[in-house]
Structure 1
Amino acid sequence: MNPTAFAFIAVIIGGALTALQGPTNARLASATGSAVNAALISFAVGTVALLMLAAVLQTRVDMAATRALPAYAWLGGLYGAVFVVASAYAVPKLGVATTIVLMVAGQMLVSLVLDHFGAMGVPRQPISPLRVLGVAMLIGGVLLVRRG
C-alpha cells in the first residue's frame, strides 16, 4: 500500500478512536471517581497493548539514538495524559462533539505556530491567510456545534 494512503487511513482511524476515547474514559472516571484514575487505567491498558505489539513486531529500541534526543521528545506521554484527563473530565460536561471540536481547535492553533517556526523539527510552513481562515472556520464550527 502507498505510504501516504496508509498514513491517511491510520490518521482517520486514530481520529475515530479518539472520539470513542472521551466517552469511554468519562465512563471509567465516573466508576473510579476521578478523571486521573481513568487516565491511569487507560494508560496501563495502552501500555500493555503496546508491549504486545512491540513483541509481535519484534521492534528494538536504538538506545544511542534515544540518548541523543532533545528533552521535549520525552514529553509525548505527558501530553497524552493531559489529553486523556481533559477529555474524561470534559465529555460529561460538554458532550463528545464539543469536547473533540475544542481539542481539534487547540491542536490547530498550536499546529500553525509549530509549522510557522519549524519548531520541534517539523518542516517549516509559514502561516498564510488561508491557513488562518481555516482555523477561524474551525473555531466558528466550535461555536456552531456548541449552540446546535
Structure 2
Amino acid sequence: MNLILLLMAFCVGMAMSIQAAVNTQLAASIGANSVVAALVSFACGTIVLLGVAVSRGGLGGVFAALAAQPPWKFAGGFLGAAFVFGTVFLAPRIGLLSLIVLVIAGQLLTSMAIDHFGLINMAVRKVSSVKMLGACVVALGVAITLFGDRIVASMGR
C-alpha cells in the first residue's frame, strides 16, 4: 500500500477526534445544543465541499445523475449526520477516549463484514485469520481502555 495513503488515513482518524472535541466545545458554548452544533459543523463542511466541487469543474450534469439514483444511496448523508451528532452528544457524557475507541471498534467490525462479504456493492476482500487476530487485539485494547482501571482496582482489593 502507498505510504502517503496510509498517512492520509491516519490523519483522517486524527481529524475525527479533533472534530468531536471542537464540536463538543461549540455545543457547550451555545447552551449545550448538540443538534445545532452538528448542524453548524455540517453547514461549514458543506460550504467547503461546495467550494472544492466548483473549483474542480463545477456541478454540471451532476444533478441529473443524482436524480436517477436509488434513495438508499443518499443514506451516507444521514449516517454522517448521525455520526457528527453522536460525537457531539456523547463526548461530554462518556469522554472523548471512550467515544473514539468505541467508534473505532464499530468501524472495525462493520468494515470487516463489508469487506469480507462485499456488502453494499463493495469489492470482496476476504478477511484473513491474521486480520481477524488483529481485530481481536484491537477489541482487547478497547476493553482495556474502557474497563482496565476498574479491573486493576478490583484486583487490588
TM-score w.r.t. the length of structure 1 is 0.84
- State the shift of 1:93 in Å: 2.2
- State the shift of 1:68 in Å: 4.5
Choose 3-12 or 14-23, whichever is displaced more. 3-12
- State the shift of 1:73 in Å: 1.8
Q: Distance in 2 between matches of 1:4 and 1:58?
A: 27
Aligned to 2:48: 49
- State the shift of 1:118 in Å: 0.6
- State the shift of 1:5 in Å: 4.3
- Larger RCO (alpha carbons 8 Å, 6+ apart): 1
Choose 91-100 or 53-62, whichever is displaced more. 53-62
Unmatched runs of 5 consecutive residues or more in structure 2:
150-157
- State the shift of 1:12 in Å: 2.2
- State the shift of 1:29 in Å: 1.7
Aligned to 1:76: 76
Moved over 6 A (4+): none
| Counterpart code for 1:103 | V
Q: Secondary structure at the match of 2:126?
A: coil
Matches within 5 A, 1:16-95: 16-32=14-30, 33-60=32-59, 61-63=61-63, 65-95=65-95
How far does the alpha carbon of each residue in 1:77-111 deviate from its partner, in whole angstroms, 9 at most, with x for none?
Answer: 11111111111112112222221111010011111
- State the shift of 1:22 in Å: 0.9
Which protein has the larger Cα radius of gyration, Structure 1 or Structure 2?
Answer: 2
TM-score w.r.t. the length of structure 2 is 0.80
Q: Distance in 2 between matches of 1:42 and 1:87?
A: 12
Cα 1:56–1:9 change in 2 (3 A) is farther
Q: Distance in 2 between matches of 1:132 and 1:37?
A: 39
Q: Distance in 2 between matches of 1:12 and 1:126?
A: 23
Aligned to 1:132: 132
Matches within 5 A, 1:92-107: 92-107=92-107
- State the shift of 1:141 in Å: 1.0
Aligned to 2:122: 122
CA RMSD across the alignment: 2.2
* Matched positions, count: 146
- State the shift of 1:132 in Å: 2.5
Q: Distance in 2 between matches of 1:6 and 1:57?
A: 22
Q: Percent identity?
A: 32
- State the shift of 1:126 in Å: 2.7
Q: Distance in 2 between matches of 1:7 and 1:64?
A: 32
